[in-house]
Amino acid sequence: MAVKSKEPLAGKELLAKVKENDGLTKRELAKECGYYTVGKEGQTRVNLADFYDALLAAKGIQLEPEKAADGRGREASYTLTVHKNGQIVIGAAYTQEMGLKTGDEFKIKLGYKHIRLVKLDAEGNEEQS
């Protein structure tokens, strides 16, 4: 049975601790912020998933969409499929969640195994986020 050693940090305290310890590795940082357990035999297990979730929550980022008030409709799955014609379609649920409007333009940046969309401003320059 694992035992928590101290209460993990959250919110502003978590962000401050992360900022002041920016030289540490991810695992060291998670442990420093209290996201670890100590097992029966003294081994330490760092819980990176909870640490990342707490960081996102502290920054105000919600990964789990809120359910519709009426309970109807599908939930966004945050996965896409390439169609037979090679196209990818991004559904309205995602564009609404991001607050996008008709006519918004993006620049497509291709990575090794990812596609990134960078929003362009009215003059065609990349917006700073």
Q: What is the pLDDT of residue 29?
A: 92
Question: Where do the domains of the chain lie, and which CATH numbers do they carry?
Answer: 3-58 (no CATH), 74-129 (2.10.260)
Q: What is the pLDDT of residue 120?
A: 87
DSSP secondary structure letter of residue 45: E
Q: Per the structure block, which two tokens stand in for 8?
A: 């993990």
pTM over 0.85: no
Q: What is the pLDDT of residue 1?
A: 47
Question: Model confidence over 79-109: pLDDT tens digits?
Answer: 778 888 988 888 888 888 888 888 888 888 9
Q: Is the confidence at residue 65, as pLDDT, over 80? A: no
Question: Model confidence over 38-50: pLDDT tens digits?
Answer: 888 888 888 888 8
Question: Model confidence over 16-41: pLDDT tens digits?
Answer: 888 888 888 999 998 988 889 888 88
Q: Which residues of 83-121 are buried (b: 16+ CB within 10 A; e: fewer)?
A: eeeeeeeeeeeeeeeeeeeeeeeeeeeeeeeeeeeeeee
Mean pLDDT computed over 44-73: 76
Q: What is the pLDDT of residue 68?
A: 53
